[in-house]
Amino acid sequence: MKKIKFLIVVSIVMLALPVLGEESGEAQYNLFKSKTYVKNPMDLRDPFKRRINKKKTDDKNKNHIDGIYSNTPDSIENKQVENIKIIGVVIGPQRRAMAKVMGDGASNDPTIYYIKEGMKIGENGAEVKAILPGGIVLVEKIRNVYDQDEYLETVIPVSND
Chain centroid, CA 88 distance in Å: 24
**115 bridge partner residues:** 97
Instruction: Give the percent of the chain with pLDDT over 70.
Output: 66
- Section 3-31 average pLDDT: 65
Per residue in 115-144, pLDDT tens?
A: 999 999 888 889 999 999 999 999 998 888
User: Which of the following CATH numbers is that of domain 63-157: 3.90.1640.30, 3.40.50.670, 2.30.30.830, 1.20.120.420?
Assistant: 2.30.30.830
Closest CA to 136 of 92, 99, 93: 99
**Taking the model in full, what pTM does it have?**
0.51
Determine contact, residues 26/20, Cβ cutoff 8 Å.
no
Task: Read off the pLDDT band of 101 (50, 70, 90).
Answer: confident
Residue 100's contacts (CB-CB under 8 Å, 6 or more residues apart) are 84, 85, 87, 106, 107, 110, 111, 112, 113
Domain coordinates of the chain in residue numbers? Answer: 2-43, 63-157
Residue 102's contacts (CB-CB under 8 Å, 6 or more residues apart) are 83, 84, 85
Determine contact, residues 150/141, Cβ cutoff 8 Å.
yes
